[in-house]
Amino acid sequence: MGDWTGVLHLNAEARKGKTVAKNVYFQGAFKVMRPIYHDDSGQACYYLLNPGGGYLDGDRYRMKISLDENARLTLTTQGATKIYKTPKNYAYQESEIFLGAGSYLEYIPDPLIAYQNAKYKQKNVIRMDRSATFLYSDILTPGWSPGGERFSYKTIQLLNEIYMDDELVVYDHIKLNPAEQNIKGLGFMEGYSHLGSMIVISALANSTFLDQLYSALDVKSYDCKVGLSLLPVQGFTIRVLANSTQVIEKIFADIHQMISQEWFQTQPSPLRKY
């Protein structure tokens, strides 16, 4: 395992109408539960586990997910990812995801909570067939601090690279460094404390669907800001600024439900964990 705190490899395939694991390997402080099938669609749902309860100084995690042709998978976490004080070395996680033709991956982790003096870097590299569908979301949340400061963490850096036919088609980079940035100001958090991001790549995504999505979202009921943008390939990205995790989760759940109903005539898997 080298110097990795935890390693996880999961390869899934479509077999007789169900998505099943072809190979599963995990070691160290990274595990995965047995798959759950929430309905009769055959789509599998896997829960990632961190037995340590959070990321500590110098922790390093590596994940590799591969979906064969027409495999359908939901990947989520058992609970929030908690980044504690990292006085010497930042905590780091990297993921490499391969999506075969016609496959579908929903990667919906619980919020990332960065506590006082936390330093965290995350890199996701997705290599996908043009006929595959990829749905990803993340939510950044400031953790508790003794003085009550909202942004007491040191650094949060999230990097997403998406490739099609070995060509980089999406590059998404978020870096929040409260000590060096006017984190509450224009262009950053703009007075809000929570940041949500969603990326959707699919041949079914177009400007018409984005217009429908924008019209259907009930954002006026919440204290938040929402931005939707088309990507250079068929897909879109969404940013949400809010003051609570629940608001962002509700907006993302509405988007997820509309995608499932409009594109696949299904309902999203229930991911309730408590």
Residue 75 has, within 13 A of its CA and on its CB side, a CA count of 28
Number of domains the chain is built from: 1
Residue with the bigger pLDDT between 54 and 272: it is: 54
Give CA 4 to chain center in angstroms: 21
Residue with the bigger pLDDT between 199 and 221: it is: 199
Q: Is residue 1 situated within a structural domain?
A: no
Q: Which two tokens stand for residue 196?
A: 């949500």
Task: Of 149, 144, 142, give the one whose Cα is nearest residue 120.
Answer: 142
Q: Is residue 60 situated within a structural domain?
A: yes
- pLDDT band at 272; cut points 50, 70, 90: low
Q: Is the pLDDT of residue 198 over 50?
A: yes
pLDDT digits (tens, 9 = 90+) for 84-120: 999 999 999 999 999 999 999 999 999 999 999 999 9
pLDDT value, residue 187: 79
Q: Which domain holds residue 117?
A: 6-264
Gyration radius from the chain CA atoms:
18
- pLDDT band at 270; cut points 50, 70, 90: confident
- pLDDT band at 7; cut points 50, 70, 90: very high
Contacts of 167 (CB under 8 A, 6+ apart): none
Residue with the bigger pLDDT between 175 and 273: it is: 175
Q: Is residue 35 situated within a structural domain?
A: yes
DSSP secondary structure letter of residue 55: B
Q: Is residue 270 situated within a structural domain?
A: no
